[in-house]
Structure 1
Amino acid sequence: MNFLLRSGTYDHVVIFSGNPLSYGCPYTSRTTSDDSDLFFHPENYYIICAVYKHVLVTGGAGFIGSHTVDLLISKGYKVRILDSLQRRVHPKGKPGYIPPEAEFILGDVSSPKDLYRSLRGVDAVFHMAAYQDYMPDFGHFIHTNTESTALMFELILANRLPIKKIVFASSQAVAGDGKWNCKNHGEFWAEPRPIEQLETGQWEIRCPTCKRECKNVLMTEDICRPITTYGISKYAVELLAQTLGKKYLIPTVCLRYTYVQGPRNSIYNAYSGILRVFAMRILNNKPPILVEDGMGLRDYVNCADVARANLIVLEDPRANNEIFFVGGGKAYSAIEFARTMLKVFNSKLEPQIPGIFRVGDTRSTVSDISRLNKLGWIPKVSLEKSLAAYRDWLLTQGRIEDVSNEAMKNMIRQKVIRKVKNI
């Protein structure tokens, strides 16, 4: 049997087959007084398939969050933002790109008072607020990323808040180094490369049996082997979302973003983010510096494509209680990325490979996005267009100060970045 879901005044229509319970639609015995809630009544109960009119975006002033806010408003949603405006990301305060139509709450996701105030009266949540860095701020990762997720469920349950769906920002970091394939011994789960191996400049993942170099396998959603505290914090978010969401009948979706690129990627944090760090250097006539040999693979996805993925999984009940990779669908080496960026920025500089590595880095991480493709999503923006859009945005930001050398020295002091011994 097919069930038609009409999304209130917004005319979002989804047709799906079978029992909506299989899609994670919460059930209740109450009826509704108008057609703003979608329901049907097999047997003697009603299924409420959520309609979202008022949405909270935590971290909505940030990179991914702000693009999601823009898209939601363009589609007719009422939007509320909760953001702490961290100085390392927003040193000038509230960004001018925040639309006036969005309600803005200055607050912290780890504060019960701020989070409760933000959750009241909304139908759905995008939990985008997060802490990410390469520095050893282990407690900060768990406090901001994981504890805020647990707190959100606590507040929803304790105050009987009628939240119909939560979309969580997860990360490719949950998968760690993923699976690799040995020509002789088949697929295996990769362990983090030993420091001793990296100090000798041996970068590739090796077969645990024959020690030969291997090829990476596309990452699928069943892979959960984080090797960094950030990845661990996001894996804990996924576990909380799926466990508590199913237990208390709150549909959740976890999106494992790969390397997101595009405008509004903050230029003030030189500790992480290949795009902004390279941009700082190129705009100050300094070459990009690559770790390892520059041949590690990544897939890059545009912020506009990510915002579309966010909206799709909110509106499509087939996404309920699922995990999806959100990636660009094409692998690039770091040196390819750097040279493409130099070309887009019209620079004649050449990338430098000084023989350094970053502790905790994965070798090659490329995601399989076929699961999200089945919901009708495909990445549309090429890497070149993403880089050009970032370049154009940077030109509106005034002088870009290069603080990458200071950040590099600090990471070396903290032993986050180390030198190869034989170079």
Structure 2
Amino acid sequence: MRALITGGAGFIGSHIADRLLAEGLAVRILDNLQLRVHPHGKPAYIPAAAEFIAGDVRDKETLRRALRGVELIFHQAAYQDYMPDFSTFLTTNAASTALLLEIIVEEGWLVRKVIVASSQAVYGEGRYRCAAHGDFQPESRDPARLAAGQWEVVCPHCGAVAEALLLDERDHHPVNAYAISKLAAELTALRLGRLYGIPTVALRYSITQGPRQSLFNSYSGICRIFCLRVLNGQPPVLYEDGWQRRDYVHIADVVEANWQVLNDPRADHRAFNVGGGCAVTVREYARVLIEAMGAKLEPVIPGDYRLGDNRHSVSDTTRLQALGWRPRRDLADILHDYLGWVRQQGDVGAYFAEADRQMRAHGVVRRVTP
């Protein structure tokens, strides 16, 4: 049996490739090796046993060639960034999903399963509860409140600070281009898959971390940024007040989630959260990381914030756990495995500095107005 992994040279896709090969499947990878993710070209960790096609998921004939003869598809290719590349988000993440299904239907190919990588981002700010006025789904936080250092989500009726609820698959409320593109991809896969009899599944990944996470992509996030600063003797810089709650999941648990839904027909035409099952504040994350690295540093909280960030994002994984999956690794495991890998990668501090400069230049990262 042959599987196609789009974006298979990337962080999640490459780990899926390793698992499929270990299970005895033939693997084909389609990846365009984006320069900002793979500045040194094809990574050495790509297994020699996997067939590799260099190409873009937005090109129909390239995608058709990659799909020919496969029964399983892991659509992991994605454009991720904080820059205002709105059309690129939609063409890469959503239109490619439509194109993939379009080719399958045109050719009349029978595929066993299509698994689409979605994201926790589709929830936007998620769902909140006001003690007086009940549940609500907020829009993006008011830029004026953020500029004043007022971080928490408040009830639109009474202005009281509201309680963040766990993210539930029944909800979605995307508020930025990346999130919109991911929800569009998800709906395309699930609705058209059901209509045309193609088994499809969407996995809404929480913040996935572990070895091979790009050191060069500014979207790679907190683990990469904090590690690089500490390795260079600099304290982690926390956005907002550092009390944001997040949900981190180990790459091995994400791979296991893909394997679970691949082999379980109960997953077909449904979306599932894939998270670590534990809320961690950014302050706590920084503390654990600094201790793990043996550094004597204190995090800095200068009043910076990133426009479009959510205040709290923690996923409810009950639906996926009902199929038999559960997260088996915690934050300590994530940091142990990531640090062991990142220390082998040489000096990459310059890439972080440039990414930070770009985000500030575009007004993505801002500072509280005195």
| TM-score bin (small chain) | over 0.9
- Quote the residue 1:120 is aligned against: 68
Q: Deviations over 1:248-281 (max 9, x none)?
A: 1001000000000100001112354111111221
Amino acid paired to 1:108: D
- Quote the residue 1:8 is aligned against: none
Which TM-score applies when normalising by structure 1?
A: 0.86
Query: CA offset at residue 160 of structure 1?
Result: 1.6
Counterpart check, 1:346 vs 2:294:
yes
Contact residue 214 and residue 220 of structure 2 kept, 8 A: no
Q: Deviations over 1:192-243 (max 9, x none)?
A: 1110111110000001111011110001101110011000000001110111
- Quote the residue 1:265 is aligned against: 213
- Quote the residue 1:384 is aligned against: 332
Contact residue 94 and residue 184 of structure 2 kept, 8 A: yes
CA–CA separation in structure 2 for the residues paired with 1:271 and 1:102: 27
- Quote the residue 1:191 is aligned against: 139
- Going from structure 1 to structure 2, the CA distance change for 1:324 and 1:389 (only over 3 Å counts) comes to same
CA–CA separation in structure 1 for the residues paired with 2:154 and 2:350: 37
Which residue of 159, 178, 189 maps to 2:126?
178
Counterpart check, 1:317 vs 2:265:
yes
Q: Give the SS at the match of 2:333.
A: helix
Contact residue 134 and residue 272 of structure 1 kept, 8 A: no
Q: Give the SS at the match of 2:247.
A: strand
Which residue of 90, 99, 109 maps to 1:151?
99
Which residue of 71, 74, 89 maps to 2:22?
74
Q: Deviations over 1:89-125 (max 9, x none)?
A: 1111111111111111111111112111110000010
> Structure 2: 5+ residue runs without aligned partners?
none
Amino acid paired to 1:148: S
Q: Give the SS at the match of 1:403.
A: helix
- Quote the residue 1:137 is aligned against: 85
- Quote the residue 1:166 is aligned against: 114
Contact residue 57 and residue 77 of structure 2 kept, 8 A: yes
Contact residue 15 and residue 255 of structure 2 kept, 8 A: yes
- Quote the residue 1:64 is aligned against: 12
- Quote the residue 1:15 is aligned against: none
Matches within 5 A, 1:210-359: 210-359=158-307
Amino acid paired to 2:275: G
Query: CA offset at residue 405 of structure 1?
Result: 3.0
Which TM-score applies when normalising by structure 2?
A: 0.98
Identity of aligned residues (%): 50
Measured on the aligned residues, the alpha-carbon RMSD in Å equals: 1.1
- Quote the residue 1:404 is aligned against: 352
Which residue of 355, 363, 369 maps to 1:415?
363
Query: CA offset at residue 408 of structure 1?
Result: 2.1
CA–CA separation in structure 2 for the residues paired with 1:285 and 1:266: 21
Deviation >4 Å, runs of 4+: none
CA–CA separation in structure 1 for the residues paired with 2:294 and 2:238: 19
- Quote the residue 1:200 is aligned against: 148
Q: Deviations over 1:388-419 (max 9, x none)?
A: 11111112222333433332222122111111
Count of residues in Structure 1 that have an aligned counterpart in Structure 2: 370
CA–CA separation in structure 2 for the residues paired with 1:306 and 1:244: 25
Q: Give the SS at the match of 2:359.
A: helix
CA–CA separation in structure 2 for the residues paired with 1:319 and 1:417: 38
